[in-house]
Amino acid sequence: MTLIPHDEAAAGPSRAVSSTGVMDDMATVAAVRRSTRTRPLSPARLLEDAVTRAGLWQRLDERAAGDPGGLSVLVTPGTSTYGDPTTAVSAVLVEQLIDLLCDRGYRNITVGAARCGPDVWLEGLGLLQTCRRLGYGGCTQRGNAYRIVDLSEDVEPARFPTSSVLHGSGMSRAWLEADFRINIAKNSTHPEFGYALCLANLLGVLPQADKHHHYRARRDGAEVVVDLLRSYAPDFHIIDAVVSSHGCAGSYVGKPLGTGTVIAAPDGALADMVGALLMHVDPVSSPLNARVLRDHGLPDDYHLDGDLTPYQGWRNPPRALVEAVRRLAPDGRAHRLFSIASWQVTPGAAEVTDPALARLSRLLTTLIRVADENPAASAALCTVVGTAASASFTVRAWRTGFRKEKVRRRDVSLAVDPDAYSHRDFDRINGLLQPLEEIIDALPADAWLMRWQHLDHSILFGCERTVNAPYAEFVRRVDISQTISYMADYLGGRVHVVSRDVQGRPTRQVERNLYLAQPNYMAFYGGPPIDVCKLEKISYEERSQRIAWQTVHSPNGSAEYDDGSVVFLPADGGNRTRIVVRVRQRFTLPLTWQVFRPETRPKLREPLVQDSYQRFFTRTLDNFEAQYEGRPYRIGRPWEKQDDMLAAELPTQRLTEAARLVRSVTAQALAVSKLPGQLGPDGFRHVAPGDVPSRFGLLEDLREELRPAVTGFWQGLREAVARDRRSR
């Protein structure tokens, strides 16, 4: 990396982008142009200098190949359809860029507008009409025409690879067919990421109108951006920091600050790194940017051209708020509610249709607006979000252990590059597992035909079951290449087949799979879901089928080992099928359990380990039988493929009912009790049967409300126990 001094940058065009320089085609330059008191510059001049120094014109000329008029340029500014205009990219700056493009012959220009997160919950003008409200009229002040398209419309299939979390998704035709894409982001803070610049802005170019539902809850936003960059990346990035929006949630509630800066770079991660440094924050403090920097990285040869002195008077979100928002699970209702209610809606542009949501929005946006100057408001905001995060965590942990059908499944990417592994890496897996399998087979089996032993802080485990299913029919119905998805508590994953045999069956594949926290009670201590990427080798013999796997990566650090094998063998002359499972596992314990150090308490640890493995693999073997018999066994709720608003239903009605219940209970509790009976002439109260009210009226009312739910719970428990007894 080369840092070009500010005084040299101010003197003239950078050597890195000079038309006569030796690094014209090789250098990647992030240009920072700033207006100061001693050297004031207009926004138009800032923009022109920044894009020139960052090499925009050289890259356009190379792509145009001598025909600038035939090159289609797509500009995608960060827009907030119904939100505060100060949180959106300046339309004036965008039109100034269009004028610069037209001056050099690039007249086939399209502005791609996109919906933001809460737009689907608001009633107002259409997207294109609202763009005109923001200043996009289809013609600049200098008379240069451009088109405006909705990136949520005219969607065509996109060629995302099978390893991508976006595989099977489409993109707007305008994005797919553009010859050159320019991504323009607003310089702003974010209550979850810390800051939201070019990479965060890319979530807006995706076609689904409900961005949160499809690209934050159903999928991980960071994985979405990484895969978009790999397949359909923008060619140039600009950050509009002429007037920025800072504070605890600058992307949601506008808090303008004149920063007089424009940042330009051909690489989005590089532009964001510069923007974060100017905010005086660590570039990897954003989970989204950290993931992109880890997987995508920075250009090998890049240069910084400009002054990186942090903005004066800049306020970043409080760390307590950022941590609280990050504790809200993106696929949960609380996160959904916060992302909508904390968005400032421009008066007259749209209105929130849900009355409870409108009241919550007024509360949150008011707290956000004054939190930077009012410590009490900041504490209240952090308390509200933190309380919601704690409640969300508790609900999620409860569902992990007791209501697994309520847990949302996950769409994920492969998270590893399948081309990084050769066939030899797959073929050596069986040899690596053989000594471990020999140890497992030599261990004594218990009554459940299960064996286990500690080895180097990991668990060796083996089990088997013989099922009443003809072997030939069993292997036809139960695809051994999908063994991982038959495991208990499987939440989702992705498979990339590397090779197949002559019959088209997978023989080598890379798979990523997610399970609920193991054991399930670890979720109450903050244990994450098990998330592992594996190389798998599958073999098909006449009298056996085998899959063996080796873990090569854990995206969330939840596992150090999760290796093993499953074998299908004929039994009783092929009339039955024998299933043999052998694994080596070592999962990362939550911090509480690491401090507790269960390895120093074997009398406590061993019963817990034995019970956990017995439960998990008993259910796993049950799943193999269910797959053979065609019975449902998957846990969790699938995501709707279409933008089904019922899937994103907000809990505002429940919140309203809860508030009414609290007010009612409080009123009854504070009410002055009336003495029972009637006062007689003798000064005594005469009480008849039934005149004495219950001392526990509130509890009795609550009991009546809960009676149906409790009765249903015990009835369901009795039915489940009866089914278990019949199955044995």
Mean pLDDT of 97-125: 79
Q: Which range, 55-64, 74-83, 120-129, 443-452, is most confident?
A: 55-64
pLDDT value at residue 33: 82
Instruction: Say which range, 170-184, 475-489, 682-696, has the weakest mean pLDDT.
Output: 682-696
Distance (Å, whole) CA 15 – CA 8: 10
544-553, strands of its sheet edge to edge: 450-455, 458-467, 576-587, 559-571, 544-553, 530-541, 506-515, 490-500
Closest CA to 481 of 515, 513, 505: 505
Residues 414-425, buried b or exposed e (16+ Cβ, 10 A)? bbbebeeeeeeb
Residue 117 reports pLDDT greater than 60 = no
Residue 132 reports pLDDT greater than 70 = yes
Residue 701 reports pLDDT greater than 70 = no
Mean pLDDT of 102-113: 93
Mean pLDDT of 144-153: 90
Is the pLDDT higher at 640 or at 402?
402
Give backbone dihedrals phi and psi of 549, rounded to 5 degrees, phi first. Answer: -135, 155
pLDDT value at residue 25: 47
pLDDT value at residue 583: 96
Describe the crossing of helices 355-370 and 375-402 by its angle, rounded to 10 degrees. Answer: 130
Q: Give, for 582, the enclosing helix (H) or strand (E).
A: strand 576-587
Mean pLDDT of 701-712: 63
Residue 121 reports pLDDT greater than 80 = no
pLDDT value at residue 655: 56
Q: Which residues pair with 513 in a beta bridge?
A: 493, 532
Cβ 17 vs Cβ 33: under 8 Å = no
User: Which tens digits make up the pLDDT trace of 464-510?
Assistant: 999 999 999 999 999 999 999 999 999 999 999 999 999 999 999 99
pLDDT value at residue 115: 65
Q: Do domains 2-327 and 418-629 have the same CATH topology?
A: no
User: Which tens digits make up the pLDDT trace of 660-684?
Assistant: 655 565 565 555 455 566 666 666 6
Mean pLDDT of 231-252: 94
Q: Give, for 406, the enclosing helix (H) or strand (E).
A: none
User: Which tens digits make up the pLDDT trace of 613-648?
Assistant: 999 999 999 999 999 999 999 999 888 765 444 434
All residues at 6 or more sequence positions from 290 whose CB lies less than 8 Å from its CB, including other chains? 222, 284
Q: Which CATH class is domain 2-327?
A: alpha beta
Distance (Å, whole) CA 111 – CA 146: 7
Using CA atoms, how far residue 471 sits from 504, 507, 542, 656, in Å, is: 21, 20, 11, 57
For the chain, give every domain's residue range: 2-327, 418-629
Residues 564-602, buried b or exposed e (16+ Cβ, 10 A)? bbbbbbbeeeeebbbbbbbbbbbbbbbeeeeeeeeeeee
User: Which tens digits make up the pLDDT trace of 577-597?
Assistant: 999 999 999 999 998 888 888
Distance (Å, whole) CA 232 – CA 224: 12
Distance (Å, whole) CA 637 – CA 385: 26
Distance (Å, whole) CA 556 – CA 587: 11
Distance (Å, whole) CA 128 – CA 149: 8
Residue 391 reports pLDDT greater than 50 = yes
Is the pLDDT higher at 343 or at 128?
343
Domain 418-629 has CATH 3.40.50.2300: no
Q: SS3 for 491-527, per residue?
A: EEEEEEEEEECCCCCEEEEEEEEEECCCCHHHHHHCC
Distance (Å, whole) CA 143 – CA 384: 50
User: Beta strand 122-124 with 72-77: parallel, antiparallel or unpaired?
Assistant: unpaired
Alpha-carbon dihedral angle through residues 362, 368, 374, 376, given to the nearest 10 degrees: 70
Instruction: Say which range, 126-135, 410-419, 479-488, 511-520, has the weakest mean pLDDT.
Output: 126-135
- Please give the model's pTM, rounded to 2 decimal places: 0.84
Residue 691 reports pLDDT greater than 60 = no
Residue 139 reports pLDDT greater than 70 = yes
Cβ 206 vs Cβ 228: under 8 Å = yes
Cβ 170 vs Cβ 642: under 8 Å = no
User: Which tens digits make up the pLDDT trace of 341-369?
Assistant: 888 776 666 666 667 777 888 888 888 98
Average pLDDT, the chain: 85
All residues at 6 or more sequence positions from 289 whose CB lies less than 8 Å from its CB, including other chains? 193, 199, 269, 272, 273, 276, 283
Is the pLDDT higher at 331 or at 188?
188
User: Which tens digits make up the pLDDT trace of 18-62?
Assistant: 333 333 444 578 888 888 777 888 999 999 999 999 999 999 999
Cβ 174 vs Cβ 151: under 8 Å = yes
